[in-house]
Amino acid sequence: MTTLFAGPTGRPGRPFGTVLSAMITPFDAEGRLDLKVAAELATRLVDSGGHDGLVLNGTTGECPTTTDAEKADLIRAVVDAVGDRCTIVAGASTYDTAHSIQQARDAEKAGAHGTLLVTPYYSRPQQAGLLAHFTAVADATDLPVMLYDIPARSVVPIEVDTMLRLAEHPRITAVKDAKGDLLAGARVMNESDLAFYSGDDPLTLPWMSIGAVGIVSIIAHVVGPHVRALVDAANAGDLVEARRIHNLLMPAHTAMARTGGGAGLVFAKAALRLQGLEVGDPRLPQLPATPSQIELIAGDLDRIQELSN
């Protein structure tokens, strides 16, 4: 049995909290890291967005285009702002095991409470390579690990047998799933004590209906209270209420799809700007939302009904 994380918000079965955003990385008008706005956004997500966890330096956080020093600075700023009341998970994901180990160690030194490890991309390792990679990074620090299974980006999925072997590691405690294979996920949940998190906003309710504990979300940047209400209802076994909120959130899923290409960060930055928080444009090769996309996103978000309706 693995040892579950017991950090600021962790509790048995929920090692990293239940509602986490894959937080965007704010930049200023010149494209430089904006730590003041990062702390402001993190505080906003925790205080009024219902978050008990944040994932930094992931895909939505533009990890391919930020330096190792910027990643560590971002972790420190967010930990200082909300680390006493929110679990901070830091991405340490590259296609180079040695570099991933260094990023995990940097995250630990910067104060992160856990790490997110994605399948090494581009190199397309065999399952034995995945096992060796994840084990090496998990062995390198004392931080609990959330695996990230997203073959749409990394090409190689984490197969069930590999996941079950990884679950034996004392610090590998959770999975963020963006593969969408509920049968495979159900097997892993049934045969291990890995905590599952939906990594795909539209699938949060389906995942939770079979045992997932929460969501690593993009839309929660701007509809956090709705996402919190959905997760709480599902965890309480009230699937009728969870389904009602799931349906209320349909326009948010439509809005996120407006920017195409899986670029949830483009949607999140545009949506935050619409809500009055200037977080800067994405770094290339991502482009900011176009005026026509922003207009459509604004219309979608305006269609989301209040929770009390």
Active-site annotation, residues = 148, 176
Token readout for 244 is: 């009602």
